[in-house]
Amino acid sequence: MSTTEHADSLIDKFGRKVDYIRLSVTDRCDFRCVYCMTEDMTFLPRTQILSLEELYRVAKVFTELGVKKIRLTGGEPMVRTDVMTLIERLGALPGLEELLLTTNGAQLDKYAVALKSAGVSRINISIDSLDAERFKRISRVGKLEKVLSGIDACIEAGIKRIRLNSVIMRGYNEDEVLALTEYALDKGIDIAFIEEMPLGETSDHNRKDTTCSNDWVRNVIEEKYDLNDSAESTAGPSRYVRVAGHESRVGFISPVTHNFCEDCNRVRVTVEGRLLLCLGNEHSVDLRDILRDESKDDSDLKKALIDSMDLKPERHYFFDDDHAQPVRLMNMTGG
């Protein structure tokens, strides 16, 4: 690799190239999922969060440094006022190959068509139960039927790849692994199981009691279906398997039991403009200071991003008493 190439792209000190960002557009949400938030949340005041213009500027500079893929997340991205204007502008960014969204799905019946037209090619929709009462218990306020109609709206709108995200927790929904899988198979969409991560303190349970390993989840599915390991990668943390006789893929995101740090290609930007180099560590750079300093321009922002690569830790250590655990909740992290 030439020195010039190195100077203009995001490569960390372990040789990992960063070409994927997760951009949080809000810390707010219309749900209060038990693993993600406490019941009484205080959200950030408006002055502390990046404006839509500032979010766009961050995304643009990242793409100029070789980022090909941006996932919008939060909090719940679709509750941010005028978020569609940002999404439309991002969809037209030169150099960006994929614009993705992670959402709780509650507003997709309204936005699916507009998202498709804006260039969103993949949508991840979180759903942890197919039972309305239980869904409400886990999300504390969510309505299952809104999410189900949002999923159908995405299928009808022709979104290229739709994936369900399910966090399986002992004592909440561990008996729904097969039902959730079969729902995805039936709809011809993908599903990924995510191990609950110890990000911040939860108010309703102790995570050490609830976290379910994906090895266990996989065994449950294999009691009924043949799973074929797949070499497919989406350049994300999921390891996918194919279900014999079906279109759908089943993904396992196992940050707790199978560390996926070796080929990590991503960083996160919180809605306060904090660049987080690792999901499970606190190493960060304040981009908001640079964005709001009139004496600084995009070249300063680029330099900060390139320099930040030296801070990217080699790996995270979840549930390890010898290493500090993140105090950020997931809505502040950008899932």
Chain positions contacting ligand SAM, by CB under 6 A:
29, 35-36, 73-74, 76, 102-104, 126, 165, 167, 194, 196-197, 199, 330-331, 335
Tell which one of 80, 331, 332, 333 touches ligand SF4 (CB under 6 A): 331
Q: What does 32 bind: ligand SAM, ligand SF4, none (CB cut-off 5 to 8 Å by kind)?
A: ligand SF4
Q: Tell me the closest approach of the beta carbon of residue 207 to ligand SAM, in angstroms.
A: 7
Residue closer to ligand SAM, measured from CB, 29 or 118: 29
Q: What does 194 bind: ligand SF4, ligand SAM, none (CB cut-off 5 to 8 Å by kind)?
A: ligand SAM
Q: In what order do the strands lie in the sheet with 266-269?
A: 227-229, 239-243, 249-253, 190-194, 161-167, 120-126, 98-103, 69-73, 20-24, 266-269, 274-276, 284-286
Q: Is 185 in the site for ligand SF4 (CB under 6 A)?
A: no
Alpha helices in 118-193 (DSSP H): 132-139, 144-157, 177-187
Residue closer to ligand SAM, measured from CB, 126 or 270: 126
Element spanning 24, H or E: strand 20-24
Q: Is 31 in the site for ligand SF4 (CB under 6 A)?
A: yes
Residue closer to ligand SAM, measured from CB, 277 or 279: 279
Site for ligand SF4 in 298-317 (CB under 6 A): none
Tell which one of 10, 18, 23, 36 touches ligand SF4 (CB under 6 A): 36
Q: How far apart are CA 241 and CA 74, in angstroms?
A: 27
> Residue 171, by phi and psi: left (phi above 0), alpha (psi -120 to 50) or beta?
left
Residue closer to ligand SF4, measured from CB, 62 or 135: 135
Q: How far apart are CA 114 and CA 333, in angstroms?
A: 26
Tell which one of 37, 59, 96, 144 touches ligand SF4 (CB under 6 A): 37
Q: Tell me the closest approach of the beta carbon of residue 19 to ligand SAM, in angstroms.
A: 20
Q: How far apart are CA 84 and CA 69, in angstroms?
A: 18
Residue closer to ligand SF4, measured from CB, 272 or 300: 272
CB-CB contact of 25 with 49 (8 Å): no
Give the pair of three-digit tokens for residue 109.
């019946």
Q: What does 304 bind: ligand SF4, ligand SAM, none (CB cut-off 5 to 8 Å by kind)?
A: none
Site for ligand SF4 in 204-263 (CB under 6 A): none
Residue closer to ligand SF4, measured from CB, 128 or 190: 128
User: Mind giving me the DSSP string for 71-102?
Assistant: EEESS-GGGSTTHHHHHHHHHT-TT--EEEEE
Q: Tell me the closest approach of the beta carbon of residue 254 to ligand SAM, in angstroms.
A: 11
Residue closer to ligand SF4, measured from CB, 166 or 234: 166
Element spanning 241, H or E: strand 239-243
Q: Which residue is nearest to ligand SAM (CB)?
A: 335
Residue closer to ligand SAM, measured from CB, 19 or 196: 196
Distances in Å between the alpha carbon of 279 and those of 104, 130, 179, 324?
20, 29, 30, 13
Q: Is 124 in the site for ligand SF4 (CB under 6 A)?
A: no
Q: How far apart are CA 262 and CA 16, in angstroms?
A: 8
Which of 113, 66, 133 is CA-nearest to residue 93?
A: 66
**Residues forming the site for ligand SF4 (CB under 6 A):** 29, 31-33, 36-37, 74-76, 104, 126, 139, 330-331
